[in-house]
Structure 1
Amino acid sequence: MEPTASPPLPGFPDLQLLECSAADFPHLAAFLSAAHPDAPTSAEDLERLAAGRMLGETHRQLLALRGGEIVGLAETGVPRMDGHPGWLEVRIRTRSEEVGGALPGELLKLAEADAVAQGAGTLVSHVHEDWWEHDFLLARGYAEHDRMWNSTLNLQALDFTRFAGSQARVAAAGLTIQPLSELGGFGEVQQRRFYTLVATLLNDVPSTTPVSVWPFEVWQRRAGVKVLPEGVFIALAPNGEWVGLSELYLPIATRPGTLHNGLTGVLKPWRGQGIALALKLAAARAALERGFTHSRTGNHSINIPMLAVNERLGFVREGARATLRKEV
C-alpha cells in the first residue's frame, strides 16, 4: 500500500496516511479482525458495505501506516441504522500495542474533524461494551445512547417438538407460514409489497430513537438485491394479508455455518398469538435443511418481547454493543 502525500499525524513522524480504496479491503479486514478477534471482518463485508453506499454519500476511511502496515483507522460515514439528519458515525481502531498511547486520540480528532466539516451535529460510534474504545469515548464526551444484544442459536440443538402447542395455536387462528419463494416471483411489485411490510415493522421496533427506515430505492440496493426468498418466511392472515415476517438467509462470511437472523416482526393487530415464534421456527427449520448450523441476531435492549422469544428458543446472549453519542 502506497501512502498519500498527506502530512503525518501530529507527533507521529513515522506514520503516513492513506485514503482507503477497494484494493485495500483485504488488508483492512485483517487489521480489523486482529483489533477485535471477537468481531471478525471479511473483505466481503467491506465490499458489501461499499456497494450499498449511495452516490455522494459521506464516507471516508483513512488508514495510518507504519512501514506499509496498518496501525490505525479513522473512519467517518453515514450510520446505517441511525441515519438521521445531521448524524454521522465515527470509528477509530488501532493495533493493540497502540491502545493507551497518543494515537487513538489523534485518530479521533481526525475523524471528528471530518464529520464536523461535513455538517454533522451529532456523532455516533458503535462499540462493544467490553472494548477499550467504549471507555475511551466515554472519557471524551460521548454518552451511551442505545445498546443491542447479540446472541447466537445452535440450530442443531433446537427441539422443535417443544413448540408444537404454539404452532398449533397459530394454525388454529387461520394463519399460515410460507417462504417468500412460494408467494410468487420477486420482481419489483413483490419487492415493494415486501418492503412495505419491512418498513412498517421497522417503524415499530422498540429503540431509543426510531429506526431510520431507508427509502425503497436505498433498501433495494442494500438489502433487496441480496434477499433469498427461500430464507424469508411470511405470516399470512386468512384473507391473504401479509402480517409478519422473519429473515434468515444471509450467511456470515466470518462465521462458517452461520446465518444472520435479520428482522422478525408481526403487525400490531396480530401480536400475542405466537406468530413471531412460529416464523422463527419455520426459518430455523429451513436453515437446517440448507446445511446451516447456527443463527445469529441482534436486538435492542428495550425490545423485551423479541428478547423473550429468542430466550425461549435458546439463543445465547453475548456482550452488549453500545451506540455512543456526542453532540458537536
Structure 2
Amino acid sequence: MQVLPPADLAGITFQAATPTDLPRIAAFLSRAHPDSPVGTADLERADSFRLPGEVFRRTLALRGSELVGMAEVSVPRSENYPGWLVLEVAALPHEAAGDLPGVLLRLAEEYAVSQGGTTLLARVKEHWPERALYERAGYSEHDRLWPSTLDLRTLDFEAFAAEVAQAAATGVRLVPLSDFGPLDEPLQRRLYALIAALLRDVPSATPIKVWPFELWQQRYVPTLKHPEGLFLAVAPDGQWVGISELHMPIPQRPGTLHNGLTGVLPDWRGQRLALALKLAAARAALSRGFTQSRTSNHSINRPMLAINERLGFVREAAMVTVKKDV
C-alpha cells in the first residue's frame, strides 16, 4: 500500500485507500455523518463510474488502527468541466475540532492542483463542521440542493384529481418503461435522448454536463433494474415528452426509493404532466411495497420545489456545494 508523505500531526498515519477498504470507509463515513449513512454498495457504484486515467485519490487517516479521517479528490459527475475537481474531507466527531481536517484538506488541495485542478468543489451539508473548514480555506457557496423525503402513505391522490384530469386531457399517456419491452440499444438511445434534453434544462448554478451516450450507457443502464418504476409521458403521436424516475432502492434507507429526474419537454409544460408523472410513479412504488420517496432539488429549481411541497415532501438541511478557484 502506498504511504503518503506524513503531516505534522502526532499519532496519525496516512495511507492510500484500496478497494478492500470500502466496507470500513462506508462505516467511517456513516459515523462521521449519521444523518447521511453510506453503504459499501454506494461507494462501489461511485467507484465504478470512474474512467481509466481519471484524476482520483482517496487518502485515509488512521490513529493506530482506527480510521478517523479521509480526504478524496475526484472528477465531478455533473460539473465535469476542464480543471474542475471535487474534494471530500471528513473526520470523526472527536477529531473534527483538532488539526486533522485542515491537514486532510491541505493534502487534497495539493494533490488536486498537482493534477491540473483550477476550480475545486466540495459538497457539505449546511450544518456539518466541514463547512466552516472550507470557508476558512477560501471556499464560497456555489450551489445549494434541498434533500427531501415523502412518506408515500400520506399521499391523498384524490386531492390532485383535477390536475391529473388536466394532464390526461392532453392525450398524453403515462406508461412505465417496462411496458416497452427489453431495454435494448434502440430503446436505450430513445431514453437517453429524452433524459439528455431534460438535464440540459435543469435549473442549477452551473449547467449540467450531459454524459455522451456510451458513458451514460455504462453508468446509468446497469442501475435500471426496476424499469416498472420509471414512468414516461407518451404524446398522442408516440413521442416521449416527460419522465419521472422512481426505480432505484436506497439500501441504507429500507423501504425508500430515490426519486431521480422528473421533467417535461418545454412544449408540453403547463399541463400538469410533471405532477401527474410523479403521482403515477408514487402509486406504482406503493404497489411494490415502498413507503418513502427521497429526492434532491437545486434551490433555484422553483417549479419542481413547488410540486414537491404540494405533494408533502419534507425538506431537510441543504447540501451546499462550495467552490474555490486556485
Return the TM-score normalized by structure 1.
0.97
Letter paired with 2:207: P
Q: CA deviation at 1:5?
A: 3.6
> In structure 2, which of residues 315, 318, 324 is the aligned counterpart of residue 317 of structure 1?
315
1:88·1:120 contact (CA, 8 Å) conserved in 2?
Answer: yes
Runs of 4+ in 1 over 2 A off after TM superposition: 3-8
Give distance in 1, aligned partners of 2:50 and 2:5: 28
Counterparts of 1:276-295 in structure 2, within 5 Å, are: 276-295=274-293
The one-character-per-residue Cα deviations of 1:277-327 (angstroms, maximum 9, x if unpaired) are 000001001111111000000000000000011011110111111000000
The one-character-per-residue Cα deviations of 1:10-29 (angstroms, maximum 9, x if unpaired) are 233x2222211121111001
Partner residue in 1 for 2:63:
66
1:247·1:261 contact (CA, 8 Å) conserved in 2?
Answer: yes
Partner residue in 1 for 2:175:
178
Partner residue in 2 for 1:36:
33
The one-character-per-residue Cα deviations of 1:166-192 (angstroms, maximum 9, x if unpaired) are 111111111110001112321111001
* 1:319 aligned counterpart, secondary structure: coil
Letter paired with 1:206: P
Gaps of at least 5 residues in structure 1 are: none
Q: How many residues align?
A: 325
2:150·2:293 contact (CA, 8 Å) conserved in 1?
Answer: yes
1:74·1:108 contact (CA, 8 Å) conserved in 2?
Answer: yes
Partner residue in 2 for 1:88:
85
Partner residue in 2 for 1:243:
241
Give distance in 2, aligned partners of 1:135 and 1:59: 24
Partner residue in 2 for 1:23:
20
Partner residue in 1 for 2:130:
133
> In structure 2, which of residues 260, 268, 271 is the aligned counterpart of residue 270 of structure 1?
268
* 1:262 aligned counterpart, secondary structure: coil
> In structure 2, which of residues 33, 42, 47 is the aligned counterpart of residue 45 of structure 1?
42
Identity %: 56
RMSD: 1.0
Partner residue in 1 for 2:154:
157
* 1:135 aligned counterpart, secondary structure: helix
Give distance in 2, aligned partners of 1:36 and 1:209: 27
Gaps of at least 5 residues in structure 2 are: none
> In structure 1, which of residues 199, 202, 210 is the aligned counterpart of residue 196 of structure 2?
199
Partner residue in 1 for 2:143:
146
> In structure 2, which of residues 101, 110, 120 is the aligned counterpart of residue 104 of structure 1?
101
Q: CA deviation at 1:4?
A: 4.1
> In structure 1, which of residues 44, 61, 77 is the aligned counterpart of residue 74 of structure 2?
77
Give distance in 2, aligned partners of 1:5 and 1:134: 28
Give distance in 1, aligned partners of 2:238 and 2:2: 58
Deviates further, 132-141 or 261-270: 132-141
Give distance in 2, aligned partners of 1:172 and 1:217: 37
Partner residue in 2 for 1:8:
6
